[in-house]
Chain A
Amino acid sequence: MLVRARRRFVVPATLFFIAYYLALPFSVGFFPHVMSRPVIGPLTLAYCFALSQFAMAWILLAFYLWRSRRFDLQAAQVRRRETRELSQA
């Protein structure tokens, strides 16, 4: 249960951040002209995308910290059950 719940979060989150991160070198490397366009004042699309990676990392971090409270509760339940079984045996 716990393992499956964890996997359901960790696998998509990992695939998402790797894809989001690799999108930066790909877009910059293969579409330099699009990425050189200024969007916010003189800031180019490339620079904004790079800055957004910091936001992405911190948001995913906060999201994981929030979700992991539930994992901790489940892990504590498993631990309690195990110790009870051990003491009965």
Chain B
Amino acid sequence: MRTQQTLVMFAIFVGITLVATFWASGQSVTRRGFYTANRRIGGLQNGWAIAGEYISAASLLGITGLIAFYGFDGFMYSVGWLVAYLAVLFLVAEPLRNTGKFTLADLVSFRLRGRGVRAIAALSTLAITLFFLIAQMVSVGAIANLLLPRLGDVTAIVAIGGLMLIYVLFGGMLATTWVQTISAALLLAAALLLSVLVLGHYHFSMANFASAAAAVPGAGHITNLFQPGLLFHGALGAWNLVSLGLALVLGTAGLPHILMRFFTVPSAQAARTSVAWAMVLIGTFYLATSFMGLGASTIVGKERIGRRIYAGDAIAYIAHHPAQESSLNDQLLHDGYIVPKPDSNLAAPLLATSVEGSLLTAFVAAVAFATILAVVAGLTLTASSTFAHDIWFVLIRNGAGDESEHLRVARAAALVTGAAAIALAIALRGFNVAFLVGLAFAVAASANVPVILLALWWRRFSRSGAILGMLCGLVSSLALIAASPVLMGNRAIFPLDNPGIISIPIGLAGAILGTLLARDRESEQMFDELQVRANTGLGAEI
């Protein structure tokens, strides 16, 4: 029953967005239309689209679950996602709008002309985008298994991948923007509705809610969910926290698919307005994760969050697992079902079941899929623009070729990226690829951010500095993740899960060292032009 409700709601979302795609297809007949929606998206809508691009299903399901199970330590993540936007606001949004054309590499090679800089910038953009894309597509399978077990993970991956390709191929940036706007609205609606229902359960008394959450027991010496230490502990727990925080807060300002959204607005003021709206929406959502997560652990209860097995199946399960017999029997008698393995990812949907019923549960599931669709569409578009604009148009064809050739290449690149993502997601089904998201943030923070900042602020910064900085950031993040406990378990050479605290300084040092080694007069002369354009918008793309 719930499967059908979810599918119907998701189908309504797809129907509305397909109409938008059909209407947008007339506009994406030029490169400018395809990559940037002709720079005619308003600041308000771009803010909603940034929120839709940024908040993933992993936040709705994963963060809510982490807060439900680990309390404060889960909420630590929520804080970083919002604060990171201050870096976007202060440092990159407006200059990027004024100096960029289609891709991140455009900004960097504005004053650092040359094929080397563009090639390495394109490479790091592709690395970040593809890591994200694979992580998202693999999570489609996992979420389908969780929320729609009757549908099957392969069907879900193919369906989401196929839909994403339709939006990107036919509607380009305009359709992607609408998908993201609508999915952000649904996401906010689901989060706020759940939060209000949680508070309603406690008769809208914050004091009652807080004392209920404080009554949930922790583990070891930690007595309740408001205390830190349930998730990050041990000697290196603190350094892991700091390293993760650093990568999160700086990395966002280097994520190509977020930065690409600033090319869609008509002015630097609109870019600023869009960050402002995005921060209001993203902040509201992540504040709501606190209510959803703590609500799930108080109203549903940790031991009831997980796949539920009912009646005959439950009895058969107990018969096969005699060791847990007495506790499972108690649970069956008390609740009418058993949860043999708690799974934090089900916290939000099961909270919906507890506070409302199957309709809200189906809505939360449908929103999760809509969210993934919005995120992967943006990622595929970013990868396609980098392939077609940076690699094909600038590096291979040296700027030659007409409009229709560029569009053909862009669409072909999107098709190949999407097809590869679908195939990889099916092959990697069931693997835990969550580390890819951390890796993407680490590469963005270590390879992109130092180079973007120095290109915008340091007169002497040179081409060799940009190339060395990006290479150092990219290689050190990849190497440190490969040697970390995430991939090597107990035999890890590098003790931290997130490389940020080491790889960001390495990337920055590479950029400075490369600059000091060789003087680059041409890039220094271009600095003044860049400053004028970045700050006033004179000569910027309109």
* A, B bound: yes
Q: Which residues of A pack against B, CB within 8 Å? A: 2-3, 6, 10, 13-14, 17-18, 21-22, 24-26, 28-30, 32, 35-36, 38, 41-44, 46-47, 50-51, 53-54, 56-58, 60-61, 64-65, 68, 71-72, 75, 78-79, 82
Binds A, one of B300-308, B414-422, B531-539: B531-539
List the A side residues contacting B257 at CB < 8 Å. none
Which residue on chain A has the smallest CB distance to residue B233?
A32
Q: Are B536 and A75 in contact (CB under 8 A)?
A: yes
Q: B245 touching A54 by the CB < 8 A rule?
A: no
6 A-B interface contacts by CB (under 8 A):
A21-B249, A50-B78, A61-B89, A72-B269, A75-B268, A75-B537
For chain B residues 141-181, which have a beta carbon within 8 Å of chain A?
none
Q: Cα distance A53–B245 when bound, in Å?
A: 13
Assess whether A65 is in contact with B272, with CB atoms less than 8 Å apart: yes
- Per the bound structure, the CA–CA distance linking A46 and B73 in Å amounts to 10
- The residues of A that contact B232 with a CB separation of less than 8 Å are 29
A68 touches B535 (CB 8 A): no
Given A29-B238, A32-B228, A46-B227, check contact A58 B283 (CB 8 Å): yes
Residue B226 interfacial (CB < 8 Å): yes
Minimum CB–CB distance from B78 to chain A (whole Å) comes to 8
CB distance from A77 to the nearest CB of B (A): 9
> A53 and B536: CB pair below 8 A?
no
CB distance from B517 to the nearest CB of A (A): 26
B245 to A: closest C-beta gap in Å: 5
Given contacts A54-B79, A79-B538, contact A25 B86 (CB under 8 A): no
CB distance from A19 to the nearest CB of B (A): 11
Considering the chains assembled together, what is the distance between the CA atoms of A75 and B210 in angstroms? 49
Contact of A61 with B79 in the complex, beta carbons under 8 Å: no
Give the shortest distance, in Å, between B264 (CB) and chain A (any CB): 20
Q: Is the interface of A mostly helix, strand, loop or mixed?
A: helix
The verdict on B91 contacting chain A, using a C-beta distance below 8 Å, is yes
* Also in contact, A64 and B90, with CB within 8 A (given A22-B242, A44-B226): yes
Q: What is the minimal beta-carbon distance from A21 to any residue of chain B, in angstroms?
A: 5
The size of the chain B interface, using a CB distance under 8 A, is: 51
7 extra interchain contacts, Cβ-Cβ under 8 A, other than A18-B87, A53-B83? A22-B246, A25-B238, A26-B238, A29-B242, A30-B238, A35-B228, A82-B536
Most chain A Cβ neighbours within 10 Å, of B72, B269, B280, B537: B72
Smallest CB separation, A81 vs chain B (Å): 10
- A65 CB contacts on chain B under 8 angstroms: 272, 276
**B239 contacts A by Cβ under 8 Å:** yes
With A25-B238, A26-B242, A54-B82 as known contacts, state yes or no: A18 contacts B249, CB within 8 Å: yes
Query: Would you call A24 and B79 a contact (CB within 8 A)?
Result: yes
A65 nearest in chain B by CB position: B276
* Residues of A close to B213: CB separation below 8 A: 42
Docked Cα-Cα span, A51 to B78, in Å, equals: 10
B79 interface neighbour in A13, A14, A41, A50, Cβ under 8 Å: A50
Q: Are B241 and A25 touching (Cβ within 8 A)?
A: yes
Shortest Cβ gap from B496 to chain A (Å) = 12
Going nearest first, the 6 A-B pairs with the smallest beta carbon separation are A29-B238, A42-B214, A25-B241, A36-B227, A44-B226, A75-B536
Binding site for A on B (CB under 8 A): 72, 75-76, 78-80, 82-83, 85-87, 89-91, 207, 210-211, 213-214, 222, 224, 226-229, 232, 237-239, 241-242, 244-246, 249, 268-269, 272, 275-276, 279-280, 283, 286-287, 531-532, 535-538
A60 with B72: in contact, given A3-B531, A54-B287 (CB under 8 Å)? no
Distance between A74 CB and nearest chain B CB, rounded to angstroms: 9
Q: Which one of A28, A36, A61 lies within 8 Å of B76 (CB-CB)?
A: A28
How many Å lie between the Cα of A24 and that of B241 in the bound state? Answer: 9
Whether B86 and A53, one on each chain, are in contact in the complex, defined by CB atoms closer than 8 angstroms, is: no
Query: Does the CB pair B86–A61 fall under 8 Å?
Result: yes
Closest to A64 in B: B89
Residues of B within 8 A of A22 (CB): 242, 245-246, 249
For A78, what are the chain B residues with a Cβ–Cβ distance below 8 Å? 532, 535-536, 538
Q: Are B536 and A2 in contact, with the CB atoms below 8 A? A: yes
A50 with B91, Cβ < 8 A, contacts A36-B228, A65-B276 known? no
> How distant is A31 from chain B, measured CB to nearest CB, in Å?
9
Q: Are A13 and B90 interface neighbours, CB within 8 A?
A: yes
- With beta carbons under 8 angstroms apart, the residue of A29, A47, A60 that contacts B86 is A60
A47: nearest chain-B partner, CB-CB: B226
Question: Is A57 in contact with B82, judged by CB distance below 8 angstroms?
Answer: yes
Please name all residues of chain B whose beta carbon is closer than 8 Å to the beta carbon of A71 when the two chains form the complex. Answer: 535
Q: Are the C-beta atoms of A68 and B272 separated by less than 8 Å?
A: yes
Chain A residues with CB below 8 A from B286, complex form: 54
B211 to A42, Cβ gap below 8 A?
yes
How far apart sit A51 and B224, CA to CA, in the bound complex (Å)? Answer: 17
Which A residues are CB-close (under 8 A) to B532? 78
Task: Give A21 to B207 CA distance when docked, in angstroms.
Answer: 27
Name the residue on A nearest B246 (C-beta).
A22
Hey, which chain B residues are within 8 Å of A46, CB to CB?
A: 72, 226-228
Which residues of the other chain, A, contact B89 by a CB distance below 8 angstroms?
61, 64
B322–chain A nearest beta-carbon distance, Å:
40
Closest B residue to A29 using CB positions: B238
Contacts of B283 in A (CB 8 A): 54, 57-58
Establish whether residues B85 and A57, one from each chain, have CB atoms under 8 Å apart when the complex forms: yes
Q: For residue B249, which residues in chain A have a CB less than 8 angstroms away from its CB? A: 18, 21-22
What's the nearest-Cβ distance from chain A to residue B508, in Å?
14
Known: A14-B90, A30-B238, A54-B287. A25 touches B214 (CB 8 A): no
